[in-house]
Amino acid sequence: MGKTREQVAASIAAGEASLGIEYGSTRIKAVLVDADNEPIAVGAFDWENSLVDGYWTYSEEEIFAGLRAAYASLKADVAEKYGVMLSKLAALGISAMMHGYLPFDAEGNLLVPFRTWRNTTTTEAARELSELFCFHTPERWSVSHIYQAVLNGEEHVPQIDFFTTLSGFAHWKLTGEKVLSIGDASGMFPIDSTTHDYDADMVAKFDELVASKGVAWKVEDLLPRVLVAGDVAGHLTPEGAALLDPAGDLEPGCPVCPPEGDAGTGMIATNAVAPRTGNVSAGTSVFSMVVLEHALKDATSPEIDLVTTPMGDPVAMVHCNNCTSDINGWVGLLCDFAELMGTDLDRGEVFSKLFESALSGDKDAGGLVSIPFISGETVMGVQTGYPLVMRGQNSAFTIANFMRMNIMAAFGALAAGNEALRAQDVKIDKLYGHGGIFKTPKVAQSLLAAALEAPVTVMATAGEGGAWGQAVAASYMVHKAEDEALDAYLNDKVFANMEGTTLEPDAADVEGYRAFLAAFKRANEAELACERAFA
């Protein structure tokens, strides 16, 4: 804390900084931290998924062009702030959106375009696997995607030699290692938290199932090797350094931590890796993670996914595909109107003002309700997604209520899913929020507290998100003491003096949200009718 510009510059030049890069849904972000895990530089590249041949995807070219662009942006930020060239790193880590499907042949060629977590095309596979495993297996998980490809008789299936997630793909290209953090691996195939590996019984069941379909390979031969936080997952190769920094300034050789999913980096970024702690990561998608102190009574509940922390401890996850995309669309429309009227506005300020207005809205959003589903939403039984806004004849249609409705709706599916978690007597002592939606103080934070009926803390680094979390994971790998656990490292060396704001759920907000959620569930029936009519 309190280092001078010269001290930071000297530290960067000496190769003492660690870098985390995370592929988000709409932004690839890079965060550089010093040895005390303080962010000292950032870089970013905006991108968007595309719907191609019925699948949400990002092209292979985009994946690596975006990586280079985010790193170049970071490198420029370092040069501008500190007057030094970023040429040497203490450690590096890659993280990304979890799940999805990236299959490769024996020569390393991508067999089909990347199928992201956002696809809801694996319903049949997910249902069969959930029954086979007696374990809820979501549609977006990699095992659902590969089994659906088997069921579909896709031509590429016999050629598969390896499949992985987006973070695993980028890590492989930077290090040559086919590995994953246990957190990201838990979104590919069910994990046994006692062995810190894929569940052996479920592996055997899956192999027997695909063999009955004429498949020759075994899934354990295709999956990445599982590692935990603190493990060295390889080193930056010369080819990897050139891929990241084509200018040739970056030296190879730094250790690289296990590639992580955005759920795992969210847990690190919010200090939510110990039992009875949890976090909510809100962006294009939204999910809550609660570290369990005991096994769930029912592992088949369709609203709850069982994944792990970066150390392998069991986590109950409620994942929803939709959160901020509809809000972004409405704010963009309002900005377009302002520009049409000749007003030049800063979009960041527009977001802040509109969010702040929500606090003066009616507690139940005045009878307004929206369904913000840009894509399918499994928790609500929606396959495709048709964003809707509904209001009664006597609804109070004001800008304050409109914005309150949009923010409350962004958490609607999450609130519905967490009702199932509360029914299983899961206790939460601390719940942290992170992601861009929390940048405007108190607004989304207070409405999330009402939605989940739990106190919500937002730390000073909440807007940095998963890229900072992965930078911390990389730093932990090289700076931890012998046998120092991740939760102890976070408590003692990362969050000990970090400022945060905690909001308890307000009783009137909770009552208003309960009324809104009841309307949200009724509105979902109209959403399902739209799907039947227009799909």
Instruction: Look at residue 436 in the predicted model and tell me its pLDDT.
Output: 83
Nearest-CA neighbor of 493 among 504, 510, 483, 479? 479
What was the pLDDT predicted at 464?
Answer: 62
What is 475-488 written as a DSSP string? HHHHHPPTT--HHH
State whether residue 402 is helix, strand or coil. Answer: helix
* Percentage with pLDDT > 70 across the chain: 99
pLDDT of residue 461: 60
Please tell me the predicted confidence (pLDDT) of residue 284.
87
pLDDT value at residue 462: 55
- pLDDT tier, 463 (very low <50, low <70, confident <90, very high otherwise): low
Q: Is the pLDDT of residue 421 over 80?
A: yes
pLDDT score for 293: 86
Q: How many CB atoms lie within 10 A of CB 464?
A: 23
106 falls in which pLDDT band (50, 70, 90)?
very high
The pLDDT tens digits for 508-525 are 999 999 999 999 999 999
What is the pTM assigned to this prediction?
0.83
Closest by CA position to 20, among listed 2, 33, 11: 33
Residue 371: exposure state from Cβ atoms within 10 A (0-12, 13-18, ≥19): buried
Which region among 47-56, 61-70, 212-221, 418-427 has the lowest average model confidence (pLDDT)?
Answer: 418-427
SS3 state at 317: strand
Residues paired with 94 in a beta bridge: 21
Render pLDDT for 246-270 as a digit per residue (tens, 0 to 9).
Answer: 999 999 999 999 999 998 998 998 8
Closest CA to 20 of 265, 273, 248: 265
Averaged pLDDT for residues 62-71: 98
Query: Is residue 454 over pLDDT 80?
Result: yes
Residue 176: the pLDDT is 98
On average, the pLDDT of the chain sits at: 94
Q: Assess whether pLDDT exceeds 90 at residue 245.
A: yes
Q: Which amino acid is at 104?
A: F
